[in-house]
Amino acid sequence: MSETATQVNGQVTDSVTQVNTKVVGETPAMAMGNLLISTSHALSTGAHNVTSAQQQGQITMHAATIQGFNALMSVGGSIVGRTAEGIIEKG
């Protein structure tokens, strides 16, 4: 092989240099974009989890209220009956 076969065209080296400079220049912006995307994804997932937990808590509190109401109503019949009987007897 002769020496001319190992030489690289100047346009090729310029093109490679430009691409390398472009990649190095875009790296901080790409890193920041990835950071912002992952942060926003984590925050939205957290907000969704909070909303879901609040909804489940409301369902639990509603069920507890209904159970308490049912307990009062099952005992309340005898109390109402006694109170009505006392009013009728005194009446």
Encoding tokens for residue 77? 């019949």
CA distances from 23 to 9, 44, 65 (A): 22, 31, 62
Q: Where are the domains positioned within the chain? A: 11-90
> How large is the average pLDDT for residues 23-49?
93
61 versus 15: the higher-pLDDT residue is 61
Q: Which pLDDT does position 48 carry in this prediction?
A: 96
Q: What are the φ and ψ backbone dihedral angles of 6, each rounded to 5 degrees?
A: -90, -10
Query: Against a cut of 0.85, is the pTM above it?
Result: no
Cα–Cα dist 88/91, whole Å = 5
Q: Which of 26-30, 52-56, 79-83 shows the lowest per-residue confidence on average (mean pLDDT)?
A: 79-83
Judged against a pLDDT cut of 80, whether residue 87 lies above it is answered with no
